[in-house]
Amino acid sequence: MTKSFGARLSAAVAHHGPVCVGIDPHRELLAAWELPETPEGLEQFAEICVEAFDGLVAIVKPQVAFFESFGSAGIAVLERTVSVLRASGTLVLADAKRGDIGTTMAAYARTWLHDESPLCSDAVTVSPYLGFGSLEPALQLAQDNHHGVFVLAATSNPEGPQVQNAINPDGRTVSQTIVDEVAARNAGSDHLGSVGVVVGSTLVSAPDLTKLNGPILMPGIGAQGGGPDDVRRLVGDALHGVLPSVSREVLREGPSVSALRAALTKSQESFAFLNS
């Protein structure tokens, strides 16, 4: 693998559109799909999602926690899901939100970003709230292995502003500092950088993203209230690289593969303006 994650993502978005679709097998969806809350039900859920989305979307985002809740059997399902998607060329973003220091962060990085790991994904979400520098093991390994990292910057949960909107001595909010740190990592890239940020689509306002030169994952689309107008409002002139992330809006149409694909297509059409 010689192309950077940013280059691969740009090519995938050009071909499929910018939508990122989640694989979120939480218990309510398992019940709605009439699947048992067991490893076997989890596997059926994941297999249906793979059949519906593989080769039709730029990037797929499994929510790691819903697999971990089933213990080793759930991790095994996640390993197979990631492997099948990546083997066919579909990009995988592991939504793990890892964040720690030193050797522990390095171990998390090896889990999700080392090519010899059974859970190796194209990119992983990480939390910078032990200090941006604590992410260095993941950022370095991602760079070395041509993978990507998405850093939580401005999330839309009600508790987020307590930390993310705090003002640093230099007058910037913490979330703006995170965005600026990511922009510095992407500086000099001839194409879309490989370090992205996560910015909630239901926020009242967002940090300045104009110098990011990297992907912007925007969760909260659809069932949580976010939509195309919110993306335009929050991102402004930085539309290049935006990845609207949809999960329940699409997944609630399952378990029919054709219905899942139809919902995905509808979402892709809603955000076609991002590719224009």
By annotation, the residues acting in catalysis are 97
User: Whole-angstrom distance between the N-terminal and C-terminal Cα of the chain?
Assistant: 28
Q: How far apart are CA 99 and CA 193, in angstroms?
A: 21
Q: DSSP H helical segments within the chain, as ranges?
A: 5-16, 27-32, 39-53, 64-68, 71-87, 102-113, 136-145, 161-164, 174-186, 228-235, 248-251, 257-270
What's the token pair of residue 171?
């007058």
Per the document, the length of the chain is 276
Q: How far apart are CA 214 and CA 272, in angstroms?
A: 19
Q: What's the distance, CA 65 to chain centroid?
A: 14
HSE, side-chain direction, 13 A CA sphere, residue 179: 25
Report whether 40 contacts 60 (CB < 8 A): no
HSE, side-chain direction, 13 A CA sphere, residue 228: 12
**φ, ψ for residue 173, nearest 5 deg:** -70, 160
